[in-house]
Chain A
């Protein structure tokens, strides 16, 4: 978001600007001396220069400081010389008594500007470069003055009169402070500390406080007060609230300070303790002035905060702040945008809609996302297509895909009409994003003909194909427009697409031999790699508009630090190191949005590996994300990374550890609404209950999971599939085969309808499993084979291994003469299962292997008992970790039989006892409940 750039006409000459001009004249008099008169050192001169720079930077302030405030600042900044400065300033101001004086003054001012012809720069001359910051300011002032009509000049004159008079009327405090400051260094120090917080936050200290200060030698130091303290103050003062929010980070800085030295510790003891209610609450005492840029910066910060973690900003209190801000600065339209964001992230549809429309009505889309001004220069028309883009994204976010598509179509048309390529690229990206996120079931009639070139050939494309065309087009457009961030996000979208879609040729004629019905992991990898090039390329992004507001605040903050340190070192009596002026560069040159994109590329990598079935790589990528990016990014993404890690833990280490980890994650992401953590918890609870045989509870958890999904068709598909998959599995565990099959079947239909291919493979496998359990192995075989072929074409290696295992089990249950075939299948899948599979899968494979051996008529236990016993032992260990009673009982049962055959009765008894224990636990799940409910 860019700052509001005031039209040039808005620069009006005011008494404050006249004062700044006077100071400029002191800084750069038109005489040829290296060091102008009052200054004793170059450092002093530079300090005034910096101060002036800060003043001119904030010349677009919403409210300009009064003369007495300016004097106070001068006193703070200019140290010993301030008396002379103030005298000079006030006398110069009060000497202006007729319009002619003003004319002469500005003629003089022109003299201190170096002309373009003064090419010969003499080293010892202070010349104001007309194109420098100060020079520009001066020129603007002169121009503004020249544009004034005679009435305007008269107005200025009266205003200057008022300006001086006001300052004089509040002079008691000024004089008191003057007489005081020589003997109370401490107080000065405290003031420096205040200034140190934010130099341009000027306090208007009332006389009363001033008096109290001198009486009790304490200084009100509101910035220390905790939040509740501020809450007590009558809500009238908005600006304080803003300060409170904006300075939250600086507060930390203040709290750290006292350890610096004795002097500071002493100073901090003067800070009022928070319970000191004797401090008067006159709303007057905390009025801070804020510059236009600072408000913009504040809004920017809040927007970032909302983006990062929407639910941590409270809807009502922030709305209150914004409303007041709007009341105070009615022309600051950005406020409406913040209100929109705020209501959007709290899912308040009507308020969001209202504020969105209001914002774009006022701003006409001329501020906001990095806009390259149109080449044709048809600025007359506004850029309302951006409004459409935002409206579309809002509808999408609130789960109205139909409207969103409608609006985005309109956005595409309008941006084409207006030839706003940037907006078009963004819109296309938004459409892609939406199409890939929601399942749009009906194919035709949704996208207008303007979207894809292929429709003109008269071939109706499926949504997926359209999406593919769109993605490619949008990527190409973004690349040609050099919108780096958009390129990256398009690449990520493309990777996502490649991950789950088989590439087919768009047109259904031509040599079919070239068709390779597989997803392309290489493409995914390529896109992901290319997407992270963004960081290196980012330096050249032309986004000055975007960062201007933020930069301004950062710049101001940086200015504070050296100033403060220099001043306090002077206080310590060592005036020599005043040259230690240095500006820090902007701390981080990589904006949050870029970091976010890079981070999501890692997250996507983790997901890709998860799908392809490489557990270690998935874990590593999730870890990278969780460790390197969490601070900079949206907390819902961070939560996702944690979820992945915890899932990993659950699969490989059992539930106890996973639940412990969940507890940690829950604390971390307490504020995230609609949380993935909650989802994960439900998933794990379901899984665990299923294993424990606690089916009622499992079903309850599963139902809860289903409720989390939105009721709108085509939205939250992932969640819906998951819920009904789990439902089917619960039914299966309860041996209600026909119901389970019915659920799985309808799920398959849904997945097919919404083109969820990866889920299809899982559902098919589940169907095979259902048939296996119901004893219809012959019926199960085709499902298992179908699942296998799905897995093959989507490169789902782990799922494929598990499908192979199911296939083997099916063969085995067809009779002992198929045992050999089953065994070879299992052995084929073993490398994948042992390398990447979780505890459950491994255990199942072991048991199946043992069963194969045992049912093979040519195999004799007596020859080589370890071939059977070893996998069984392994399986039993893993299943005990997992608390999977049913399978564990089976393993122990098999073990007991083998031992019985071998005649090892002691071991047999042991295995049988374990078998009994697990069976008991399975039949009596209540015992375990205690643990579960404690979570």
Chain B
């Protein structure tokens, strides 16, 4: 599909000199006859050899004695895969440390902490495009698209020829379906440098938005030819293949993304979705589990997982309820979770829980001023529920609200009301038909 490196992978050449290099550098270090750059080199050798903890110590020494070597910092960051290992580093106080921490937090998906650090840094380095872009990245991960867009607009004003990170801007524009802005951006980066993977990715995004998936795939391919470890291109290409119903290719693309960086929750999610589409919900669960582990605050992932459990074939309803509850707790934008929760509880014969969730769902819809079949369903259920509970006042209130809607529910509400009246008093009920509609 994509031209990977030669079959034997030339980049994986084995460095046979590592041992001797390590020997030499370690004696130098022992004799304290080594400068910070030598230490950095030593750290690289150690990392390559796989002795991570020693590499970490050496790199810390290197950055402590010469903090302005960003490469040393980034090597150090690649060795800190957990928050514990990050906290255990013994670093001197220096402003470079803040850059390092901010970037490391980002990598560890602690976006809020990272954002705080960067905003702090922006106070000192007010005109840094880098910090601006990093802030955009953090906000993007927090799904605050409006701010991201604003930041990028400003970035482009300051640096009209910038290509780095513009693929993220294009993702935002894609999500917001801004056709013209995206095409403008695509044209702009194309004029600047069309042979950058970012440029190709942006063009791919544009075609994808236009619904021309073949062309879009072509550009993602080009991006990957330029940089085969370009994570988001693999994932985006996977999405395109899903659109084109080319399942094996999609799975392959997602899988490559995951193998490049196993923390890419989007690719895991894509894999899960693909398998779910094929009618393999149980198989898909494995992937959804991975993605929610990486991004536990994303309601979409929880809902996807819940829907797997909720399928007719599996119908593991208890598990589905748990997932929906998680989704409802993390600000479910599409408001699927509450409704499904109410329904599931109803189906499982738990009227109280069902009423609770219907009520919550209704409150939500009221707050967002949404109407629709869900609203009718909630009202109807609540009316019957309260009637059964003999709380006629509430029941009546819901029934009267139902009367605002057309359809069979209106009649049901009428008969409910009538029933309640007769139950409340022995006096024959008022003629409800005469009430204003």
Contacts and interface: CB of A to CB of B under 8 A. Distances in A.
A331 B283 contact: no
A358 interface: yes
A409 B313 contact: yes
Contacts of A358: 255, 259
B278 interface: yes
B74 interface: no
B246 A331 contact: no
A330 B248 CA distance: 18
Given A62-B8, A409-B313, A448-B313, A417 B279 contact: yes
Interface stretch (B9-17, B136-144, B145-153, B168-176): B9-17
A414 B280 contact: yes
Nearest to A238: B14
A732 interface: no
A834 interface: no
A414 B279 contact: yes
A454 B14 CA distance: 63
A153 B243 CA distance: 37
B246 A380 contact: yes
Contacts of B254: 361
Interface in A324-367: 327-331, 353, 357-358, 361-362, 364, 366
A410 B7 contact: no
B280 A331 contact: no
A353 B314 CA distance: 20
Contact of A384 (B12, B19, B278): B278
Contacts of A283: 14, 16
Interface residues of B, number: 29
B252 A407 contact: no
Contacts, number: 82
A894 interface: no
A207 B8 CA distance: 24
A728 to B, nearest CB: 38
B313 A329 contact: no
A388 B280 contact: yes
A234 B19 contact: yes
A380 B281 CA distance: 20
Contacts of A406: 282, 314
Nearest to A61: B7
Which of B279, B281, B282 has the most chain A CB atoms inside 10 A of its CB? B282
B251 interface: yes
B279 A381 contact: no
Interface in A479-493: none
Contacts of B72: none
Interface size class of A (residues with CB under 8 A): 35 or more
Interface in A263-301: 282-284
A407 B9 contact: no
B60 to A, nearest CB: 28
A111 interface: no
Interface string B219-258: 0000000000000000000000000011110011011000
Contact of B251 (A329, A361, A410, A414): A361
Nearest to A10: B7
Interface string A129-173: 000000000000000000000000000000000000000000000
A329 B7 contact: yes
Contact of B283 (A237, A364, A407): A407
Contacts of A284: 16
A381 B280 contact: no
A620 interface: no
Interface in B1-42: 4, 7-9, 12, 14, 16, 19
A505 interface: no
Contact of B16 (A236, A327, A353, A381): A236
A331 B4 contact: yes
A327 B4 contact: no
Main secondary structure of the interface of A (DSSP, over half): helix
B286 interface: yes
B271 interface: yes
Interface string B251-269: 1101100010000000000
Contacts of A330: 4, 9
Contacts of B283: 384, 387-388, 391, 407, 410
A364 B14 contact: no
B100 interface: no
Contacts of B7: 62-63, 329, 331
Given A361-B255, A384-B278, A387-B283, A413 B246 contact: no
A448 B287 CA distance: 24
B286 A357 contact: yes
Contacts of B16: 234, 236, 282-284
Contacts of B275: 384
Contact of A382 (B19, B251, B271): B251
Given A406-B282, A414-B278, A328 B313 contact: no
B174 to A, nearest CB: 25
Nearest to A327: B12
A362 B19 contact: no
A691 B8 CA distance: 65
A353 B259 CA distance: 15
Contacts of A410: 279-283, 313
28 contacts: A62-B7, A63-B7, A63-B8, A234-B16, A234-B19, A327-B9, A330-B4, A331-B7, A357-B286, A361-B254, A361-B271, A362-B252, A362-B255, A364-B251, A366-B248, A380-B246, A384-B247, A384-B278, A388-B282, A388-B283, A391-B283, A406-B282, A406-B314, A410-B281, A410-B313, A413-B313, A414-B279, A414-B280
Interface of A: 62-63, 234, 236-237, 282-284, 327-331, 353, 357-358, 361-362, 364, 366, 380-382, 384, 387-388, 391, 403, 406-407, 409-410, 413-414, 417, 448
Given A62-B7, A387-B283, 5 more contacts: A62-B8, A63-B7, A329-B8, A331-B7, A358-B259
